[in-house]
């Protein structure tokens, strides 16, 4: 049994798979760590799976999982963790933006007895000003909700077998991996790393997918939007009380204001506030609907171990 499993979600990473496997092999072999690489092809549209098969042909420590379609990074990470057999499991990106050397540093921390080792970004790389501000806002909310400092956390981490089993036992479909690993608790260490430039391929995150990601995870992990809606409702209520009293006084004094503008403004304001609130509640409802359907998180179409096809065999 290998001691370290490295889970690598890969979506359209044909340019990076071979290189990542080579680099990890070099670094881990040199450090004398026995390992397996669990590459999860998240329904790529390019030749990522062929590259994984090729890498598996060369190295029997490679396990490849092929999804039937794109299920998203969280699902890929989850599938990789479910397949990993190591005593300790690391999760890192397949594009070498998470440096392999940091993996060794994390492993040493694990040997010291830490159960979760979180990778913390030293800087956010060359992201745009707006991107950094939005990320700051998003992680601010998440930090409040999880009561853990989420600023600069990443999906790069190492977890003891116990922690992996705890995470795998959580029943929810909408999983925010970055926060879940701290939510389960355990003895945690932090290791800083510098985000490397992507060497090949491109980032899969558009501005729109980031907004969706942020909103989905805020909803999956917190009730902050619901509190915001209630709070907004409270403020509207207080304002309307003031308006009512003011209008009544004016009425009894006999100079009621001619009210077209006020009326139409109030109607529009309240109408949109109600729509917005309903939208937020609806979003939660949709998430609950997804959860109660209890569909699988992902569908695996093929699994390989080295050069063998092990689809269907129980590991
Ligand atoms: N990824 C994935 N499924 C997706 C999108 C991304 O498995 O739907 C993987 C991707 O292959 C990479 C990691 O998640 O290994 C991080 O993605 P990316 O490099 O695009 O994100 P960035 O580094 O720009 O935040
Ligand atoms: Mg990347």
Per-residue pLDDT in tens (0 to 9) along the chain, 315 residues:
568 999 999 999 888 888 899 999 999 988 888 999 999 999 999 899 999 998 888 888 899 999 999 998 889 999 999 999 989 999 999 888 889 889 999 999 999 999 999 888 887 666 777 777 888 888 887 777 767 677 777 889 999 999 999 999 988 887 788 878 878 888 888 898 888 877 777 777 777 877 888 878 787 777 888 888 888 888 888 888 888 888 888 888 877 766 777 788 888 888 888 888 888 888 888 888 888 888 888 999 999 988 777 787 655
Residue 209 near ligand 1, beta carbon < 6 Å: no
pLDDT at res. 315 = 52
| Rounded CA separation 2/6 (Å) | 10
The 10s digit of each residue's pLDDT in 217-253 is 787 777 888 888 888 888 888 888 888 888 888 888 8
Residue 74 near ligand 1, beta carbon < 6 Å: no
| ipTM for the complex shown | 0.93
Residue 167 near ligand 1, beta carbon < 6 Å: no
Residue 212 near ligand 1, beta carbon < 6 Å: no
pLDDT at res. 107 = 93
Closest ligand 1 atom, CA of 97?
23
Ligand closest to Cα of 205 equals: 1
pLDDT at res. 308 = 77
Ligand 1: centre distance to CA 74 (Å): 10
Q: Give, for ligand 1, the residue of 204, 207, 212 to mutate: max count of ligand atoms closer than 8 Å to Cβ.
A: 204
Q: Which of 142, 208, 203, 229 is nearest to 177 (CA)?
A: 142
Ligand 2: centre distance to CA 310 (Å): 29
Ligand closest to Cα of 204 equals: 1
Ligand 1: centre distance to CA 120 (Å): 17
pLDDT at res. 257 = 67
pLDDT at res. 146 = 67
DSSP the chain: --SEEEEEEESS-TTTHHHHHHHHHHHHHHTT--EEEEEEE-S-SSSHHHHHHHHHHH-TTEEEEEESS---HHHHHHHHHHH--SSEEEE--TTS-S-HHHHHHHHHHHHHT-SEEEEEESS-TT--HHHHHHHHHHHHHHHHHHTS--TTEEEEEEEEHHHHHHHHT---SS--HHHHHHHT---EEEEEEPPPPP-SS-----HHHHHHHHHHHHHHH--HHHHHHHHHHHHHHHHHHHHHHHHHHHHHTT-PPP-HHHHHHHHHHHHHHHHHHHHHHHHHHHHHHHHHHT--S--EEEEEETTEE-TT---
Torsion of CA 170, 175, 180, 184, to 10 degrees: -10
Ligand closest to Cα of 8 equals: 1
Hey, whose CA ends up nearest to atom 8 of ligand 1? 72
Ligand 2: centre distance to CA 7 (Å): 14
The 10s digit of each residue's pLDDT in 128-178 is 777 778 888 888 877 777 676 777 778 899 999 999 999 999 888 877 888
């Amino acid at each position: 049994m290998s001691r370290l499993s490295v889970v690598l979600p890969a979506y359209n990473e044909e340019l990076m798979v071979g290189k990542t496997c080579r680099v990890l092999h070099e670094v881990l072999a040199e450090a004398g760590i026995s390992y397996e690489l669990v590459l999860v092809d998240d329904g790529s549209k390019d030749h990522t799976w062929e590259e994984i098969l090729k890498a598996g042909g060369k190295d029997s420590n490679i396990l490849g999982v092929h999804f039937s379609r794109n299920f998203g990074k969280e699902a890929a990470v989850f599938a990789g963790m479910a397949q990993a057999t190591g005593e300790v499991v690391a999760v890192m990106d397949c594009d070498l933006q998470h440096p392999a050397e940091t993996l060794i540093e994390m492993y040493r921390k694990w040997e010291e007895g830490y159960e979760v080792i979180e990778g913390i970004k030293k800087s956010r790389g060359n992201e745009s000003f707006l991107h950094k501000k939005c990320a700051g806002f998003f992680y601010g909310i998440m930090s409040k909700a999880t009561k853990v400092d989420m600023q600069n956390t990443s999906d790069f981490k190492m977890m003891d077998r116990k922690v992996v089993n705890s995470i795998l036992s959580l029943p929810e479909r909408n999983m925010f991996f970055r926060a879940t690993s701290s939510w389960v608790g355990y003895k945690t260490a932090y290791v800083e790393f510098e985000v490397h430039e992507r060497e090949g391929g491109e980032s899969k995150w558009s501005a729109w997918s980031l907004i969706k990601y942020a909103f989905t995870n805020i909803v999956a992990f917190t009730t902050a939007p619901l509190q915001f809606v209630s709070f907004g409702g409270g403020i509207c209520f207080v304002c309307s009380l003031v308006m009512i009293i003011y209008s009544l006084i004016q009425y009894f004094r006999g100079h009621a204001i001619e009210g077209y503008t006020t009326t139409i403004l109030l109607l529009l304001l309240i109408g949109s506030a109600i729509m917005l609130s309903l939208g937020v509640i609806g979003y939660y409802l949709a998430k609950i609907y997804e959860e109660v359907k209890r569909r699988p998180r992902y569908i695996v179409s093929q699994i390989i171990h080295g050069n063998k096809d092990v689809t269907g065999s129980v590991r």
